[in-house]
Amino acid sequence: MSIALSAQSIRASLGDVEVLHGIDLSLVAGRWTSIVGPNGAGKSTLLKVLAGLLPHSGTVTLLGQPLSSLPGRVRAQQLAWLGQNESSADDLTVWDVAMLGRLPHQPWLSSPSAADHAAVEQALRATQAWDWRARALGQLSGGERQRVLLARALAVQAQVLLMDEPLANLDPPHQTDWMGIVRALVAQGSTVVSVLHEVSIALQADDVVVMANGRVLHHGAAHHPATHTAVEQVFDGRISIHAVADQWVVLPRL
């Protein structure tokens, strides 16, 4: 059981305000971990720190190596990050956007190789975006665009995949598809970490990290009662978690 991603004594600030107050976390390889917590808990910030995108104090280790010692390209080949949509790439085609995910693997300015083509096709088929690969991003709906951005992250074929609100704009069938993709990746040995505010789906993961106010309150298996109690408590007892047909469901408690 190896550790894919670990964090020691992470402190991070946004502007002058400290947002993460000392996080220690170890994420096992080959599992899907979801991070839940109320708004402003620091979930997205933590994910960015784990991806090496924010300055922080403390250490992040990726697959046994300190993240800061890895050259950018090497890190990009091993860790893919999908953030909340801030793209302005309306003119690029779906295929072009997905191909951007291969940048870490391509020598500078080279044409896509056969491996690149295969990776892009696989990613686009997995998100069911292959049929409209020639369309421009700007012509797609919100949900379709999200699937393309997801395909871009999948095309990296990285061992560790960090995703922040990957289900934005996705309708239920495609949310299910996403879960299927994640389960398949994990089955192959990849590590997936997702920040989700859809708690029901978050509970489908292998492990759950519960965060509030810049600290980790609980880290445990998703099916464990202690995890459920922690989740209910972090939301001030305004939700309750129930078992329905083998799965855990979150209901509001009025």
What are the CA-CA distances from residue 52 to residues 32, 45, 146, 201, 246 (Å)?
19, 11, 23, 26, 37
Q: How far is the CB of 82 from other proteins (least distance, A)?
A: 8
- Closest distance of CB 243 from other proteins, Å: 37
Nearest residue (CB) to other proteins, 158 versus 203: 158
> According to the binding rule CB under 8 A, does residue 72 interact with other proteins?
yes
Tokens of 237: 């007892």
Q: Is 140 in the site for other proteins (CB under 8 A)?
A: no
Measured from the CB of residue 205, what is the shortest distance to other proteins in angstroms?
A: 22
Pairing label, strands 160-164, 79-82: parallel
Site string for other proteins, 7-26 (x = CB under 8 A): --------------------
Q: At what angle do helices 114-126 and 142-155 cross, to 10 degrees?
A: 140
* Site for other proteins contains 125 (CB under 8 A): no
3-class secondary structure, 163:
strand
Q: What residues numbered 162-221 form the site for other proteins, per CB under 8 A?
A: none
Instruction: With beta carbons less than 8 A apart as the criterion, state whether 61 and 6 touch.
Output: yes
Asked whether 5 and 60 are in contact (CB, 8 A), the reply is: yes
103 binds other proteins (CB under 8 A): yes
Q: How far is the CB of 87 from other proteins (least distance, A)?
A: 5
By CB under 8 A, residue 86 contacts other proteins: yes
C-beta separation of 62 from 5 below 8 A: yes
Which residues are near other proteins by CB under 8 A? 48, 51-53, 72-77, 79-83, 85-89, 91-93, 96-97, 100-101, 103-104, 108-109, 134, 136, 149, 152, 156
